[in-house]
Amino acid sequence: MKTTVANSPKTVIFVAGGTSGHIHPALAIAGEIRDRHPDIRIIFCGLKGNIEEEMVPAAGYKFVPISARGIPTKYTPWFYRWIKDNISGTFTARRLIKDVKPVLVVGTGGYVSGPVIMAAAQYKIPFVLHEQNVYPGRANRLFAKRAAEVFVTNEDSKKNFPEKAKITVTGNPVQ
């Protein structure tokens, strides 16, 4: 039987990377979704060769590597590498989103979130963000206004996001 959008499982894409501080909350949220809705397919995106490439499959989820680099703070030859990697990552994310048609994308931070959240926005897929730190990273600050919702760990985090962001204090999810 050919899989079509009508008969394919609902999918949620998570994007987390760089440190286990981004990955552990994403795995906790994904675990809760899996427990409550076992029919939902969960796919993780992250950086190839980073800690998430081991942690995510070990937790039982599909892992899709995405090319990305942090925004350079000054103009150097790395700037061109940043452009190349992030464009490549955005195209990979767009292909994934087009293929699986997720119902939601969840970003928990790290610069790898940029290409995936950008692709979700381009395809008008709703996305939510979770920020574990009082001061949010660039990716979460950049996309906060366009997010369906931004979840933060404490009240102090709210002041560091744009006024138009829809923010809810949830605490830090743990496994």
Query: Closest Cα partner for 18 from 44, 45, 51, 61?
Result: 51
* Residue 54, CA atoms < 13 Å, CB-side half-sphere: 6
Interhelix angle 78-100/113-122, nearest 10 degrees = 50
Q: So what's the pLDDT on residue 159?
A: 92
Per-residue pLDDT of the chain (175 residues; tens, 9 = 90+): 444 445 568 999 999 977 777 899 999 999 999 999 999 999 999 988 888 889 999 999 999 999 887 777 777 788 888 888 888 889 999 999 999 999 999 999 888 998 999 999 999 999 999 998 888 888 888 889 999 999 999 999 999 998 899 999 998 888 7
38 alpha carbon, distance to own chain's centre: 20
Decide if 43 contacts 26 (C-beta within 8 A). no
Which CATH code for domain 11-128?
Answer: 3.40.50.2000
In contact, 66 and 59? CB cutoff 8 Å: no
pLDDT given for residue 28 in this prediction: 95
pLDDT of residue 2: 45
Domain regions of the chain by residue span: 11-128
Q: What is the pLDDT of residue 7?
A: 57
> Residue 22: what pLDDT?
86
Check residue 50 and give its pLDDT: 86
